[in-house]
Amino acid sequence: MPLLTVAECKSLLGLEDNTYNERIAIMLPLVEQDIAEYCNNWFADTAIYRASGSEFDFVRGSTMTSSTQADYILDAADDFSTAGFRSGMDVVVLGGSNQGYYRLAAVSTDRLTLTSTGEIEDQSQTTYYIWPGKMAIARANWPKSLKPVAAKMVWHLVDEPRKGDVKSESVDDYSVTFAGSNAYPERVIKGLSKYKRAVLV
């Protein structure tokens, strides 16, 4: 499931018209990524989960054909549908250059077809040597209590102009903290503290 839909975000923010719909939709994936990076927590479901030693292939789709080809992930072990993946589900890829969140358009035993086209890199575990361990794909399992925090983070990106390369600053009782790719007010990201995991070095 997604962390937040546009409709949920608008409801939490008290927005009634459609003025910001497109901008909210663009910011939602950025906020998801920022939360995961800031918390050092990908919120991966341990029940709907598929780990792979060498069976995954990531295939980049294209719009340069007569019919658009979506991105997809192949599983040589044919375990995707039996692992519980379903169309419409949001998943997180853990490991490799395609790490991040994606939505599933269709699921078969050996293929996860994504809703994106041209967003993932072609990558075969048998030929990709930079990632030394297993890759995994799991359902994104966002806590419902994150929704209000995420809505405030989205609004901060939509409503306020950003200063270039702000890491942190304090003015009187207002402070911002760098989280992921963006800086957010300290009072906003305070709600993320209970989801933070220690960074092992």
Give me 83's structure tokens: 């692992």
pTM (2 d.p.): 0.81
pLDDT at 176: 56
Check the CA dihedral 192-193-196-201 and report its sign.
positive
Q: What is the mean pLDDT of the chain?
A: 85
List all residues 6 or more positions away from 90 whose beta carbon is below 8 Å from its beta carbon: 1, 2, 101, 102, 103, 104, 139, 140
The answer to whether 60 touches 49, Cβ cutoff 8 Å, is: no
pLDDT at 171: 47
Q: Where in the chain are the domains?
A: 6-42+144-195, 44-140
- Residues near 40 by Cβ (< 8 Å), separated by ≥ 6? 196, 197, 198, 199
Query: pLDDT digit string (tens) for 8-40?
Result: 999 999 999 899 999 999 999 999 999 999 999
Q: What is the pLDDT of residues 40-52, one digit of tens each?
A: 999 999 999 999 8
Q: What is the pLDDT of residue 127?
A: 65
Residue with tokens 């949920």: 8
Report residue 124 CA to chain centroid gap: 21
Share above pLDDT 70 across residues of the chain, in percent, rounded to a whole number: 83
Give the C-alpha separation, 165 to 178, whole Å: 9
Taking residues 161-175, what's their average pLDDT?
Answer: 49
